Amino acid sequence: MSLRDTLNTIVSSVDGALAAVIMAYDGIPIDEVAVEQAEFDLQLLSVEYASVLKEIKRAVEVIKAGNLEEVSIATTQTRVVVRVLNDDLFAALIMKHDGNFGKGRYLLKLNSYELARELS
């Protein structure tokens, strides 16, 4: 299955999903799928969160807490689940605040192995 097909499967399977993206820590998107227009700029959200994730990844390395696997960010409008795919890339699922967070987190984790394999 292609990267886009995998992202489509995740987004279409989660109630409240707005988008899924594969992105580099430098903010360059590799692929993305969006299902509906959000009240905010999804591109900007992805780029800004990439910057935050880069700092979190660095902090985890400094404190020697192991390898970063997952980060969740919840705001009054959205919930974002991020899974690390490799040293350079991560996948993020952006959902409405009332979206099915548990299912989204599970499907992103389940499919992250397939995404990482496709990117290698």
Of 37 and 68, more confident: 68
Q: Is the pTM for the entire model greater than 0.85? A: yes
Q: What is the pLDDT of residues 19-48, one digit of tens each?
A: 999 999 988 999 999 987 667 787 888 889
Q: What is the mean pLDDT of residues 59-81?
A: 95
CB contact burial 80-108 (16+ within 10 A = b; e otherwise): bbbbbbeeebbbbbbbbeebbbebbbebb
* CATH number of the structural domain 3-119: 3.30.450.30
